[in-house]
Chains A and B, each alone.
Chain A
Amino acid sequence: MHRRKLLSGILLAPFAAYAADGTVVIRNAKILTVTKGSLEGSILIRDGKIVEVGPNVNAPAGAKVIDAGGQYVMPGIIDCHSHIATDAVNEGAVSVSSMTGTGDTVNPEDIGIYRALAGGVTTANILHGSANAIGGKNVVIKMRWGKDTPEIVFDGAMPGIKFALGENPKRRGGASEGGLNTRLRYPATRMGVEDVIREAFTDAKAYKAALDDYNARVAKGERLIQPRRDLKLEPLVEVLEGKRFVHAHCYRADEILMLLRVADEFGFKIRTLQHVLEGYKVAKEIKEHGAGASTFSDWWSYKVEAFDAIPYNAALMHKKGVLVSLNSDSGELMRHLNQEAAKTVRYGGLTDDEALALITINPAKQLAIDNRVGSIEPGKDADLVIYDKHPLSNYAKVQKVFIDGQVYFDRDTDMNERAAKAERKKALAEKQKAAARPAGNGRRPQ
């Protein structure tokens, strides 16, 4: 903790250059709207929202003007699967950990936020890990680096929960790990994973029935004791009521189909299938169910269930009518999702706009925040990235990132501040060294 404080003092840069209620014009830009084609022109921003996009915009006198110098502007990248900015990822002791949530452990000082920003990411879905068949709740954040926890949360995003199928949730049910046989946990098979989900939703239905009955009778004027609140089943009731999205980690076609059928049976929807590396095999069924698919560009072979993964997965599912996004699941990959999108042009022949949609408007739709972000359109949040080259080029680099019309990353500022930061770090380190040395009386400060 001490170290984090020391570092954050160096890293929290004063980026918020423009007042949120100010008017900003980005002019002389090649604008990739993603949903409405591309054009050369300007973007007018007021109160953090995009007001106008066109070859010429009606900029009021006194508006802050940013000359993009003919560079590219695209919507901020949205990562539908990330684990940055959270101090805890997996509650692995139980097979159903729906009582937990990543929103409880958000760390706004995680350097991963700044690094993601520098890679053009403005919004991310921070998911629980994949250790359990039913995992914890998620939180959607904006990369408002320098702000505190409540302010980095994406206000109004639909709540969600993580499910996980296949090797990860059944791992703890496996035989002894390094001779330790003491912590076996059901399930050990894909059958068991299905069973855990069925069991949990059977309980959730019963809980919902009890709650519904109670509410109906209370409405009729009966005086009753409220059913005991169940924090594990409550999120699952919300899933049954369509008030909470299911984001399900999965790999193999069989388990994907299993989950879709279990959801059909209990009457809820899978919002997104995460990783879904064999999604291309059951694209038809995924489309029929209406689930979105959020996958890697080219990861494969790191475990048995990833051996039939193909880099054509995103393109193939897209061509078969599935709503597809590309995610990172990694603080590193998150920094170049634009390059990952470019790979779908190589593998599967998507157009540039289709490729860009995989990291902008499609994940926005999957998270049901497409009314706010994901494209450059009037009325949407001014979450924008300026690249020096076309963002699908591997030579492109991020110059500036705006969230709600404010600059949160500026490459020039970052570069200019490096020398001073290095000096400050050196001075702090010296100070720390001096403080660690015993004082004159030989006693350390307690």
Chain B
Amino acid sequence: MKLAAFLLATAAFAADDSFVLRNVTIHPVTSADIPNATLVVTGGKIADFGPKAAIPKGAKVIDAKGLHVYPGLIDSASNVGMSEISSVRESGDVNELGDFNPQLRAVSSVNPSSDHIPVTRGNGVTASLIYPGGGIIGGQAALMHLDGWTWEEMAVERNITMQMRIPTTTTSTFSQTFGAGRRPFAETKRRYEERLKLTGEFFEQARAYQRRKAAGGGGFTVDRKLEAMLPILEGKEQLLVFAARERAVKDALAFAAKENVKIVLAGVREPGTAVKEIAERKIPVILGETLELPLEEDSPYDSPFTLPGELYKAGVTFAFGTFSVQFARNLPFQAANAVGFGLPYEEALKAVTINAARIWGVDDRIGSIDKGKWADLILTDGDPLEGRSQVKQMWIQGRPVSLETRHTRLYEQYTKRP
């Protein structure tokens, strides 16, 4: 028995997902920083950490003197892997046709060979909530590790939330042919009311379907769109509702109350007086980019920078999303920018680690350095939210992950040009 246990332990340490970091400053996020400590990873999981953590015999030891270890960063909204070159329609799989597509799933359209995956990893992002768009209900989003030979291997959770865009009164229009334009307000209002009505009707249909299915009996046939709505109606899955301005946020809150569904708000930018209700109803928020312009000409110049701090003070739980492909690697800087404008540093770091994991219900596996969690880790030479820092190494589930990218390869290649 003892021998078997010993052999097992040895085998584990010989594997690629076990190692020890020594002389490292540990930033667990969920507890205080520990300088000069040891972190033990066994079988892809965090086995132990602390100033006096014992180094198992035969373990591969990495001396990390002067370096820092953090949990891998989590982007709570991106399209990484679903679009390669944004101007080339053929390379994009984000937006499907039609208003209601709850049956669609992003997970199997994430290209594991996308050049954006390693590029995003380069700045410390180990996992991303990858969502589809288009219409009112765009489909199901997946929480993906940014590593894996296939999308199956990448997936942490395949269908974790449903993307929805609350109808808005937007008068500005844009078309490739005619460029920017304006829609008259009366038409905009009619369109907005019509789309809100359509959304309500779709949920009504889904509830009717739910009742028919529960009743059983003959004549029941599967409707794949409505079937996909059941986890939402049953409260097992959250709706990820995009709403930027105060009116849209209020509409989204009213909608969630009326339909009695759990929501996460996304892309919130100028929520105004809706903040109080968001806090009271404990609705999590995925913040739109902080590095953005104010929506209104006469909004305070720093309104996108101060919003995270204001939500924090109001008691709202939030995480950051990049809502991007090419700029997904700037997740740490989106968070950092809020720090100068009122968000405590620790909260910025939490918003790209543990709070994201909590919102998505995966904090049993990722989001902090805690015993038993997956070893999704980054080793840095400083604060990972600062532009001047470097990510030196990365592990996902204890496996070392390459930080080489299309960009580092071209850099090396052309540095050598005589």
Establish whether residues A394 and B340, one from each chain, have CB atoms under 8 Å apart when the complex forms. yes
- Given A316-B414, A339-B333, A342-B387 in contact, is the A303-B86 Cβ separation under 8 Å? yes
Q: B149 near A: Cβ within 8 Å?
A: no
Establish whether residues A312 and B407, one from each chain, have CB atoms under 8 Å apart when the complex forms. yes
Q: B307 near A: Cβ within 8 Å?
A: no
Q: A284 near B: Cβ within 8 Å?
A: yes
Per the 8 Å Cβ criterion, residues 1-57 of A in contact with B are 7, 10-11
What string of 1s and 0s marks CB contacts (under 8 Å) between B380-417 and chain A? 00000111111000000000000000111011001101
Establish whether residues A304 and B87, one from each chain, have CB atoms under 8 Å apart when the complex forms. yes
A396-B341 Cα distance, complex, nearest whole Å: 9
Establish whether residues B301 and A301, one from each chain, have CB atoms under 8 Å apart when the complex forms. no
Per the 8 Å Cβ criterion, residues 297-316 of B in contact with A are 297-298, 300-302, 305
Whose C-beta in chain A lies nearest to the C-beta of B325?
A: A301
Q: B275 near A: Cβ within 8 Å?
A: no
- Given A312-B411, A346-B388, A392-B387 in contact, is the A118-B87 Cβ separation under 8 Å? no
A392-B382 Cα distance, complex, nearest whole Å: 14
Q: B193 near A: Cβ within 8 Å?
A: no
Establish whether residues B389 and A346, one from each chain, have CB atoms under 8 Å apart when the complex forms. yes
A339-B339 Cα distance, complex, nearest whole Å: 14
| Residue of A310, A339, A342 touching B407 (CB-CB under 8 A) | A310
Q: B221 near A: Cβ within 8 Å?
A: no
Establish whether residues A336 and B291, one from each chain, have CB atoms under 8 Å apart when the complex forms. yes
Q: A407 near B: Cβ within 8 Å?
A: no
Establish whether residues A178 and B340, one from each chain, have CB atoms under 8 Å apart when the complex forms. no
Establish whether residues B297 and A316, one from each chain, have CB atoms under 8 Å apart when the complex forms. no
Q: Please indicate the chain B residues that have their CB under 8 angstroms from the CB of A7 in the complex.
A: 297-298
Chain B, interface residues (CB within 8 Å), range: 35 or more
Establish whether residues A395 and B330, one from each chain, have CB atoms under 8 Å apart when the complex forms. no
Q: Across the A-B interface, how many residue pairs have beta carbons closer than 8 Å? A: 119
Q: Please indicate the chain B residues that have their CB under 8 angstroms from the CB of A316 in the complex.
A: 411, 414-415
Q: B292 near A: Cβ within 8 Å?
A: yes
Q: A173 near B: Cβ within 8 Å?
A: no
- Given A298-B330, A301-B325 in contact, is the A115-B301 Cβ separation under 8 Å? yes
A336-B337 Cα distance, complex, nearest whole Å: 9
Per the 8 Å Cβ criterion, residues 295-313 of A in contact with B are 298-304, 306-308, 310-312
Establish whether residues A396 and B340, one from each chain, have CB atoms under 8 Å apart when the complex forms. yes
Establish whether residues A395 and B326, one from each chain, have CB atoms under 8 Å apart when the complex forms. no
Whose C-beta in chain B lies nearest to the C-beta of A110?
A: B297
What string of 1s and 0s marks CB contacts (under 8 Å) between A393-418 and chain B? 11111000000000000000010001
User: Quick one: which of B86, B291, B340 has the most chain A CB within 10 A?
Assistant: B340
Q: A190 near B: Cβ within 8 Å?
A: no
A440 CB, nearest partner CB in chain B, Å: 27
- Given A339-B333, A394-B387, A396-B340 in contact, is the A332-B293 Cβ separation under 8 Å? yes
A396-B305 Cα distance, complex, nearest whole Å: 12
Establish whether residues B407 and A299, one from each chain, have CB atoms under 8 Å apart when the complex forms. no
Establish whether residues A302 and B407, one from each chain, have CB atoms under 8 Å apart when the complex forms. no
Q: A177 near B: Cβ within 8 Å?
A: yes
User: Could you list some 11 contacts between A and B, CB below 8 A?
Assistant: A118-B301, A178-B176, A301-B116, A311-B407, A332-B293, A388-B340, A389-B340, A392-B387, A394-B387, A397-B340, A414-B300
The 9 A-B residue pairs with the shortest CB-CB distance in the complex, in nearest-first order: A342-B387, A394-B336, A178-B177, A303-B87, A312-B411, A345-B388, A310-B407, A397-B340, A395-B340
